[in-house]
Amino acid sequence: MTTRVRFAPSPTGYLHIGSARTALFNYLFAKHTGGKFLLRIEDTDVQRSTEESTRSILDGLKWLELEHDEEIVYQSDNAPRHREIALKLLDEGKAYRDFTPKEERSGDVKAAIQERAREQKDMRDNPFRDLSKAESDAKADAGEPFAIRLKVAESGKTTFEDAVYGFQERDFSEIEDLVLLRSDGHPLYNLAVVCDDIEMRITHVIRGQDHLTNTHKQVLIYEALGVEKPTFAHLPLILAPNKGKLSKRKHGEVVSMTTYRDSGFLAAAFRNFLVLLGWSAGEEKEIYTMDELIGKFSLDHIHKNNAVFNFDANDPKHWTDDKAIWMNAEYVRTMPLEDLIPLVKAELKSAKLWRDEYDDDDKTHFEKTVDLIRERFFTLKDFSNQGRAFFSEDFDFDNAAIAKNLKKFPDLQTRLPELAGTLETVDDFTHDTLETVIKGFAEEKGVKFGVLMNGARTLLTGLAVGPSMLSVFETLGKEKTLRRLKSQVAWNQ
RNA sequence: GGCGCAUUCGUCCAGUGGUUAUGACGCAAGGUUCUCAACCUUGAAACAGGGGUUCAAUUCCCCUAUGCGCUACCA
């Protein structure tokens, strides 16, 4: 039997980092087992679901390259079918009509639920549970509104074997007669999920641990329907640094996938970071290609304890998890150059720094430039910010760099243009030749080589840090190097 | 309140009935270099607590603590 898994987000916001990981795990499991990865949008909560959210989630998945197989299922489309099934259970006596008026909730719903739960009541205590069919039908015919609840047996327990958490059981006395269909005729989550999973022939339900207790309710529905239940695998949660819930409201943009895309992260790097949150192959290796992940991923290496997504909202340097940043930098500087080039191209295009020659006459030179500067970059954004001087004449000078490398050594104001004059005669504008010439120049003029190079760095790139200057000279080329060495712009700032 | 799940460095993790308890991020120190956020080397840093079981527990069991989840006509 081919495995079929699904990622089933509810479109009430952008793609959350935790959801993204759930999607990733589902995807990897599907591909590992040669199965299908399906997508279902759980938009049954009409009040909160938005099309914009759906789009944002789809964008996030697309960016992560978690492509789904088959058509997207919109849960709301299946509502009639869910209703039918609830009615069927009613008909079979496995569910009953509850005529209790709906309790309107407002304000702090969580607190209200907690408060009510404290009352410790008998889960089977419902005046309409044992109403005769005739009485129930009569009331319904009279137009009295009702919800449909599953009739959970007086005694017994549900059990299932979770692929991550192991054997689970729950006594019926802990499970209320859950509502299947609202009094307005809309199906509820637990019913909808089970019906759709059956319909989509899902073999493995891989989702967040917050559903672990709910699963017992769903098992009950499977049993009432007489359908074999799928394998369940619950995933540990991803928590905020204070070990609390990671939410948009409290933590803002750090939890959104689009933030990473827009900050110049590489999908491959972020995926790699994400997969290590709650899973490991049990080895010391940490950098994996997608193919390696597909090959190694398995449910039994998923952890049981929650992971903390570590960041400090008050510190720009640690705005997101350090390891994610490191992972991205690692990818930027070590991934195959040919894979990086298109990404840099897209970044330069969006920063209006792209020139068509980079793809054509200047291709080799462009690639060499990218290869040189990527060594100390962290994100794709760095190519258009820090790396701007390599692609444009219009770049800024860092004041600290000017102070440290130029103003502190006033004679450089004449020495650097002088150096330009000397370099004018160099035809072989490459690292080694330049080194010989410039070292000779430094000695002759009594200037320290390092001071000369640092000054040049600021003049040529606007910065105080960067790759070896001899390589920068070579990469930038003679013409630009000479012009910038002679320029007085930075000196006048 | 009830029920459930969890607990190894600050964070992500490895691991075992007998180990100097692994690796990574971050941090610190040193080094290389023309600079550095890169690179190299080194260092500090953890088995929640208490009981058992055992010749021996970080590892198995129980209790406590803590955290998280569920307890809706939300998903």
Q: How far is CA A490 from CA A181, A462, A471, A482, in A?
A: 71, 8, 22, 15
The phi and psi torsions of A319 (rounded to 5 degrees) equal -60, -25
Q: State residue A49's pLDDT score.
A: 86
Q: State residue A316's pLDDT score.
A: 84
Report the amino acid identity of residue A457: R
Distance A194 CA to B14 C1' (A): 37
β-strand A147-150 against A95-98: which pairing, if any? antiparallel
Q: Is the reported ipTM for this assembly greater than 0.85?
A: yes
Residue of least CA–C1' distance to B4: A213
Helix/strand number for chain A, H first, E second? 21, 12
Distance A30 CA to B26 C1' (A): 34
C-alpha to C-alpha distance for A44 and A198, rounded to whole angstroms:
17
Q: State residue A268's pLDDT score.
A: 96
Helices (H), A64-204: 79-91, 109-117, 133-141, 189-199
The phi and psi torsions of A355 (rounded to 5 degrees) equal -130, 140
Helices (H), A96-179: 109-117, 133-141
**Chain B nucleotides covered by protein, CB below 7 Å:** 1-8, 10-15, 22-26, 33-38, 67-75
Q: State residue A252's pLDDT score.
A: 85
Distance A162 CA to B55 C1' (A): 37
Q: State residue A71's pLDDT score.
A: 95
Distance A84 CA to B66 C1' (A): 46
C-alpha to C-alpha distance for A128 and A145, rounded to whole angstroms:
13
Which nt has its C1' nearest the CA of A241? B11
Q: What angle do CA A326, A30, A43 make, to 5 degrees?
A: 90
Q: State residue A61's pLDDT score.
A: 96
A29 near A177, Cβ under 8 Å? no
The phi and psi torsions of A106 (rounded to 5 degrees) equal -150, 165
pTM greater than 0.90 (yes/no): yes
Residue of least CA–C1' distance to B66: A243
C-alpha to C-alpha distance for A195 and A179, rounded to whole angstroms:
14
Q: What is the DSSP letter of A65?
A: T
Q: Is A97 helix (H, G, I), strand (E, B) or coil?
A: strand
> What is the residue whose two structure tokens read 């959350």?
A16
Q: How far is CA A257 from CA A134, A169, A243, A336, in A?
A: 54, 35, 20, 24
| Residues of A marked as catalytic | 248
Q: State residue A221's pLDDT score.
A: 97
Q: How far is CA A264 from CA A8, A55, A66, A288, A419, in A?
A: 27, 20, 18, 20, 37
Q: State residue A205's pLDDT score.
A: 97
Q: What is the pLDDT along chain A (493 residues), one digit of tens a residue?
A: 899 999 999 998 899 999 999 999 999 999 999 999 999 999 988 778 889 999 999 999 999 999 999 999 999 999 999 999 999 999 999 999 999 988 877 677 777 777 777 776 788 888 899 999 999 999 999 999 999 999 999 989 999 999 999 999 999 999 999 999 999 999 999 999 999 999 999 999 999 999 999 999 999 999 999 999 999 999 999 999 988 888 888 888 899 999 999 999 999 999 999 999 999 998 889 999 999 999 999 999 999 999 999 998 888 888 999 999 999 999 999 999 999 999 999 999 999 999 999 999 999 999 999 999 999 899 999 999 999 999 999 999 999 899 999 998 998 999 999 999 999 998 899 999 999 999 999 989 888 999 999 999 999 999 999 999 999 999 999 999 999 999 998 888 7
